[in-house]
Homo-oligomer: A and B are copies of this chain.
Amino acid sequence: MKDENMFEELLQEDDSLTEKQRQILIAATEMFAEKGFAATSTNEIAKKAGVAEGTIFRHYKTKKDLLLSIVTPMMLKMLGPIILKDLNKVLNKDFEHFEDFVRAMIKNRQEFLEKNLKVVQIFLQEVPFHPELKEQFIEHIGKKVINRLIQIIEHYQSKGQIVKLPATTVIRLAAPTIMGFFATKYVLGVKWDDEEEINRMIHFLKKGLAPEE
């Protein structure tokens, strides 16, 4: 509920959207997340959005267009800017310790996730069947983020705070740990004391990535 409102808020801000379009996007997002793209009919979406079926196709040439209209801008306008801009906030602060950087990073990504749970879910569910999505993501998001992360890691390596493995290896070790945290929380739905679990995770990463003596 809280999440949806946040998602809807973001739609609200976009003045280029008519009210009906907003309804369509909200309804489609809801249903795609719940039943999957292929198993959701435009008829259902129309009903849920309270518009005529034809109205959907006035705004989105095809059903797939509708999917991309949900996922692409989220990637470009939200994921993109947020990741890059917000990330910069984190990255540029030049936290004294790697540990602090990781903590800020986790918090930042968690906020993004909570605002975009459903769209992220749709993206993850549909990406195997729509190669364009994968390519778009890698091209527009992936590469930039990776490059930025590499800089950061090398920064902390030069400060002697983390082990001198290749930066990509460091990412491969650390990223799943953080993503596993989110997956456990949001996908498996495990309830825990966030604060404590994050502390343990950071401690684990710090030790695991500590420089060799």
Contacts and interface: CB of A to CB of B under 8 A. Distances in A.
Contacts of A197: 169, 172
Interface residues of A, number: 29
Q: This chain: how many copies in the complex?
A: 4
A129 B176 contact: no
A208 interface: yes
A175 B173 CA distance: 12
Interface string A48-91: 00000000000000000000000000000000000000000000
A103 interface: no
A208 B176 CA distance: 14
A160 interface: no
Interface string A140-182: 0000000000000000000000000100010011011101110
A209 interface: yes
A180 B169 CA distance: 12
A184 B125 CA distance: 17
- A-B pairs with the 8 shortest C-beta distances? A176-B180, A208-B208, A38-B38, A38-B39, A176-B176, A204-B208, A173-B204, A207-B208
